[in-house]
Amino acid sequence: MNIKTAEFVSPKHPDKICDQIADRILDYYLKKDKYSRTAIEVMGGHNQIIIIGEVRSKAKINKKEIANLVHNLTGKKYNLTINLVEQSPEIAQGVEIGGAGDQGIMIGYATKETKSLMPLEYELARNLCQKIYQKYPFDGKTQVTIEGKKVLRAVASFQNVLQKDLEKLVKSLIKSKEYFINPCGNWNIGGFDADTGLTGRKIIIDSYGPRIPVGGGCFSGKDPSKVDRSAAYMARKIAVTYLKKYRAKEVLVKIAYAIGQKQPLMKRTLIDNKEMEIQEFNLTPQGIIKFLDLRKPIYSKTSEWGHFGNNFKWDKS
């Protein structure tokens, strides 16, 4: 059997709210200083939002400005704590000479299974979540299980919609052998009122689904000097490029870095199970930033519906 499952969550899920807050703050810094460096973490839930992390920027942004960014997304009913401090000088010295902002392994992937070059089960779960969200813009989750190209099970749990109405919508959107619609019953308490959210807790959803390995680092809140983000985008770019160049069915890319070092320690790709070294790309952090034009305030959109397969620059060959 070739059974695969993937899930997705709406932008009103508490973890994704945190990702969006972090990336809105990043974008705000980049608008004022394109060389800003940030590592911003957000936790929210039960009347509290906590923003903590490190920033190095010529932009002088006060807490009121950050509070306005948050309130535009969440409303004003949450108590807000902000503690952003200067980036550690030990980290800064490695980045300022063009080195990676941290160690890590970054993964890129592309497949011929879908037009978006994303795994089929992932794309089905995302598309289902997006279409439900268009009608019911609340906290919610979807999950799709496939065998080959056949959908075996479709799951949808969404806030503020009756089970019978949601079931009717889901059945009009996806044909499945079985349906699980609000399987725990109807629910009206969602988002930060129901659960605690945290940046980086949806890295599988942010990437390619559970079929494809992840390097471990999250994306949101991190400027492009952090290779967790920029090199992951570059790995996707390489995978998409090689998929077309070699007329492959699937491509997996792995790139690894050490903090403060310019060149990757590993740059390998698996093209239809044939392994080779990546040669023709500049994989230094500065080379990636320049190639993908990553100093622009483009990150808020990535934190809503996944970082890949959404027609971003790194999704194109």
Query: Is residue 143 in some structural domain?
Result: yes
Please check whether residues 108 and 123 belong to one and the same domain: no
Please check whether residues 131 and 163 belong to one and the same domain: yes
pLDDT band for position 100 (50/70/90)?
confident
Residue 90 has pLDDT above 60, yes or no: no
Please check whether residues 173 and 236 belong to one and the same domain: no
**What number is the average pLDDT over the span 45-70?**
95
The structure's pTM equals 0.95
Q: What is the pLDDT of residue 226?
A: 93
Q: What is the pLDDT of residue 86?
A: 87
Residue 124 has pLDDT above 70, yes or no: yes
Place of tokens 């996806």: 174
Query: Is residue 30 in some structural domain?
Result: no
Please check whether residues 133 and 109 belong to one and the same domain: no
Asked whether the beta carbons of 18 and 163 are under 8 A apart, the reply is no
**What number is the average pLDDT over the span 300-308?**
98
Q: What is the pLDDT of residue 97?
A: 62
**What number is the average pLDDT over the span 163-175?**
98
Q: What is the pLDDT of residue 95?
A: 67
Percent of the chain predicted with pLDDT > 70: 97
Please check whether residues 231 and 109 belong to one and the same domain: yes
Query: Is residue 45 in some structural domain?
Result: no
Q: What is the pLDDT of residue 101?
A: 76
The Cα–Cα gap between 241 and 51 comes to 37
Please check whether residues 163 and 144 belong to one and the same domain: yes
Please check whether residues 151 and 284 belong to one and the same domain: no
Please check whether residues 143 and 108 belong to one and the same domain: no
Q: What is the pLDDT of residue 99?
A: 76
Please check whether residues 183 and 231 belong to one and the same domain: no
pLDDT band for position 1 (50/70/90)?
low
Domain count, the chain: 2
Q: What CATH number corresponds to the domain at position 299?
A: 3.30.300.10
Query: Is residue 129 in some structural domain?
Result: yes
The Cα–Cα gap between 303 and 200 comes to 10
Query: Is residue 253 in some structural domain?
Result: yes
- When the pLDDT of each residue in the chain is averaged and rounded to a whole number, the result is 95
Please check whether residues 229 and 308 belong to one and the same domain: yes
Q: What is the pLDDT of residue 216?
A: 80
Reduced to 3 states (helix: H, G, I; strand: E, B; else coil), residue 53 is strand
Q: What is the pLDDT of residue 94?
A: 58
Query: Is residue 202 in some structural domain?
Result: no
- Per-residue pLDDT reduced to its tens digit, 241-264: 999 999 999 999 999 999 889 999
Query: Is residue 46 in some structural domain?
Result: no
- Per-residue pLDDT reduced to its tens digit, 178-203: 999 999 999 999 999 999 999 999 99
Domain limits for position 135: 3-9+119-192
CA 135 from centre of chain = 23
Please check whether residues 108 and 144 belong to one and the same domain: no
Query: Is residue 187 in some structural domain?
Result: yes
Please check whether residues 229 and 289 belong to one and the same domain: yes
What's the per-residue H, E or C state across 189-257?
Answer: CCHHHCCCEECCCCHHHHCCCCCCCCCCCCCCCECCCCHHHHHHHHHHHHHHHHHHHCCCCEEEEEEEE
- Closest-CA residue to 21 (of 39, 37, 8, 40): 40
pLDDT band for position 93 (50/70/90)?
low
Q: What is the pLDDT of residue 260?
A: 86
**What number is the average pLDDT over the span 29-47?**
96
Q: What is the pLDDT of residue 312?
A: 98
